[in-house]
Amino acid sequence: MSHLFSNLRKLIVYTAFILVFALTITPRKAKARSSVQLSLARLCVSEAGFQITRPMSEYTNDCAAIVAALRNRSRTGTVTDAILRAYTRRLFHGRTRMVRQWVSFLHVKHSRPPHWPTNLSWERHQPRFVEIYNLVGRLLRHDVEPPCLPDHWGARWRFIQDRAHRQGWHRVDCGPTFNEFWRIH
């Protein structure tokens, strides 16, 4: 009889261990994915504003092309917090001299972010941010094909274009975008 209780006790301990392990691992992965998704959504707004989810006549491919560029630059082909931080350090903390400092505080569930411009309606922009966040989720799951396969991107400023050409980079056509996208050869 004591042998039966001993085995039953082991079974309970093992089951509890497995449950605790399963419950702690799964949320971490989900949290990591949502952290990357939120950071990418912030990056997309920082790079192209809220126009990303407009009707197709005004659609920009910036977000999809940025995700493709980050995948190409990553050693694993996966967009991680580390690759995001390597590309956009200033976006990850609120102590920045960015003109749009509020971008660092965007969140799908929160009210108006700190430093939000007083002349803009957060109530109007918050649903757009949720759309961008959802678009990024589809991009991370590979549900949306990238419009191109760039290695880098930058604003359409002459000095950036000159630097890219001096370094032998080639412009990639990603369709309608606010930024320019480049292949590094």
pLDDT per residue as tens digits for the range 25-64: 333 443 444 689 999 999 999 888 887 655 544 567 999 9
- In this structure, what token pair is assigned to residue 76? 């694993």
Q: How far is CA 95 from CA 44, 98, 101, 105, in A?
A: 19, 9, 8, 11
Count the Cβ atoms, other than its own, within 10 Å of residue 144. 15
Distance, in Å, from the CA atom of 124 to the CA atom of 17, rounded to the nearest integer, reads 47
pLDDT digits (tens, 9 = 90+) for 68-83: 999 999 989 999 988 9
Local confidence band at 95 (pLDDT 50, 70, 90 cut-offs) = low
Interatomic CA distance for residues 136 and 139, integer angstroms: 5
Determine how many CB atoms are found less than 10 A away from the CB of residue 33. Answer: 13
What pLDDT score was predicted for residue 23? 37
Cα(107)–Cα(103) distance, rounded to whole angstroms?
9
Q: Which amino acid is at 25?
A: I
Spans of all domains in the chain: 2-183
Report the C-alpha dihedral over residues 82, 87, 89, 91, rounded to 10 degrees: -110
pLDDT at res. 59: 60
Question: Would you list the DSSP string of 83-148?
Answer: HHHHH-GGGGSS----TTGGGGG--SSSSSPTT--TTS-HHHHHHHHHHHHHHHHHHHTT-S--S-
